[in-house]
Amino acid sequence: ATPAEEKDLVIIGGGVAGYVAAIKAGQEGLKVACIEKRGSLGGTCLNVGCIPSKSLLNNSHLYHQILHDTKNRGIEVGEVKLNLEQMMKAKETSVSGLTKGIEYLFKKNNVEYFKGTGAFADEHTVAVNLTEGGETSVRGKNIIIATGSESTPFPGLTIDEKKVITSTGAIALKEVPKKMVVIGGGIIGLEMGSVWSRLGSEVTVVEFLGQIGGPGMDAEISKNIQKTLGKQGMKFKLNTKVVSGDDSGETVKLEVEAAKGGKAETLDADVVLVAIGRRPYTQGLGLENIGLETDNRGRLVIDSEYRTKIPHIRVIGDCTFGPMLAHKAEEEAVAAIEYITKNYGHVNYNAIPSVMYTHPEVAWVGQNEAELKEQGVKYKVGTFPFSANSRAKTNLDTDGLVKFLADAETDRILGIHIVGPNAGEMIAEGTLALEYGASTEDVGRTSHAHPTLAEAFKEAAMATYGKAIHY
């Protein structure tokens, strides 16, 4: 065999973590290779996650709005029909445009792209099982593992991506199911549940905990969005666990009961979406060949500079600690490369925003009330409802509120929680404020254009240290 080619950096996984690291490394002048097995770059996010789900969320929202929310706006439409095949094509166009864009960026930044599955042969050598057939290997002075995550299966149900689906099936259904049951009322459950509910499915969400939204969402915000999603037609069974499932028939039957034990009932669905979280993916990586282990949740263990116990092997993104979010993976990718080339890097884990792209959107950054209470922090609260915001009123889109949590003594912002139109864009301002260590008065004394939704943000800040004007 020919000796393996030597690179400054070899990256296993071409998802958001891996491809951003590869581009950054190329920009820094490193000789870099990136190995990806799926046949296209961008990972979960671009191929089966963030991007396709947002395409369907946007277009299903338009469809739903045209069906139910035009007359009062003075728009009379004729017959409205769903063309699901075309909606899926629109999604595919967004996905392929973006994934091909990354291939272009690889070329531009001199990143060598290996299509295949990478596995450690030794601490510096990655064997690549090529997609086209055959094998090769590549050596790296440094190696980054960025192999991402996969959806957590539900015991007793077999995923066929048709009747029992994960998010991957949920972005590709060929027809609108009459009845859909979602196991898990986290971000995936609520986003994909929204899509199919808007397109006409009867959607019931079964959630083990007493609130929806998954980890981190503020309880008051969670209640607020639950009410709105309920008005849109979604049904919720909280404090409820699925005891067993039977997918042998034409429909799927789920046995559910109160989480603390109690009344059992059977739910019947044409499609069951399993959305109970994701778990790190490190299968077939050959970790045993280099003596690297994962923790009890499958995460690769690293230090604050992303190094494993083998210091030239680093780990970033979903397969290690922290929230499983694309923008978190991206920050880590840049920082990891800077640690390699400059010995410093920066990611502020207290200021990573979360966004749920339902309508209205939910977005937050920093801590929620329950977390502050648990830490015994004295805090004050300021809120402002979109029903008192002029732009939301002109848009006839007034559900939701902005909520600030700030240190009771110093006024420093500790958390910002929004449910409302465009919350996902608005939280960028909140994240910047948190990153800069702003007080609510800093935000409240900053001019915000009129009439904008962002004025609700300013006025919620004003309500935290003083009084809002319009409420």
Q: Which residues bind ligand FAD (CB under 6 A)?
A: 12-18, 35-38, 43-45, 49-50, 53, 117-118, 146-149, 167, 188, 281, 284-285, 317-318, 324-327, 329
Nearer Cβ to ligand FAD (217/463) = 217
Tell me the residue number closest to ligand NAD, measured at CB: 186
Candidate list 312, 359, 450, 470, residue with the active-site label: 450
Cα separation, 90 vs 55, whole angstroms: 8
Radius of gyration of the chain (CA): 24
Could you say which of ligand FAD, ligand NAD, none residue 45 binds, taking C-beta under 5 to 8 angstroms by partner kind?
ligand FAD
Beta bridge partners of 253: 246, 268
Could you say which of ligand FAD, ligand NAD, none residue 208 binds, taking C-beta under 5 to 8 angstroms by partner kind?
ligand NAD
Q: How far is the CB of 37 from ligand NAD (least distance, A)?
A: 20
Nearer Cβ to ligand NAD (118/189) = 189
Site residues, ligand NAD (CB under 6 A) = 183-189, 191, 206-209, 214-215, 241-242, 275-278, 323-325, 355-357
Nearer Cβ to ligand FAD (60/117) = 117
Could you say which of ligand NAD, ligand FAD, none residue 209 binds, taking C-beta under 5 to 8 angstroms by partner kind?
ligand NAD
Give the number of other Cβ atoms within 10 Å of residue 34's Cβ.
28
Token pair listed for 396 = 């006839």
Q: How far is the CB of 192 from ligand NAD (least distance, A)?
A: 8
CB 15 within 8 A of CB 45: yes
- Backbone angles phi and psi of 159, in degrees to 5: -70, 120
Token match 């929004």: residue? 418
Q: How far is the CB of 262 from ligand FAD (least distance, A)?
A: 32
Q: Is 210 exposed, middle or buried (0-12, 13-18, 19+ CB in 10 A)?
A: exposed
Token pair listed for 125 = 């050598």
Q: Is 308 exposed, middle or buried (0-12, 13-18, 19+ CB in 10 A)?
A: buried
Could you say which of ligand FAD, ligand NAD, none residue 275 binds, taking C-beta under 5 to 8 angstroms by partner kind?
ligand NAD
Could you say which of ligand NAD, ligand FAD, none residue 306 binds, taking C-beta under 5 to 8 angstroms by partner kind?
none
Q: How far is the CB of 100 from ligand FAD (least distance, A)?
A: 15
Token pair listed for 197 = 């509910």
Walk across the sheet containing 252-258 and list its strands: 240-246, 252-258, 264-269
Q: How far is the CB of 189 from ligand FAD (least distance, A)?
A: 10
Nearer Cβ to ligand NAD (151/464) = 151
Q: How far is the CB of 277 from ligand NAD (least distance, A)?
A: 4
Could you say which of ligand FAD, ligand NAD, none residue 256 binds, taking C-beta under 5 to 8 angstroms by partner kind?
none
CA 468 to chain centre: 33
Is 68 known to be catalytic?
A: no
Q: How far is the CB of 186 from ligand NAD (least distance, A)?
A: 2
E-only strand ranges, 240-351? 240-246, 252-258, 264-269, 271-274, 278-280, 313-315
Token pair listed for 310 = 């083998």
Could you say which of ligand NAD, ligand FAD, none residue 117 binds, taking C-beta under 5 to 8 angstroms by partner kind?
ligand FAD
Cα separation, 192 vs 199, whole angstroms: 11
Distances (CA, A) of 98 to 90, 207, 231, 321, 326: 13, 34, 35, 27, 14
Nearer Cβ to ligand FAD (47/211) = 47
Q: Which of 227, 229, 222, 221 is CA-nearest to residue 403?
A: 221
Cite the active site residues: 450
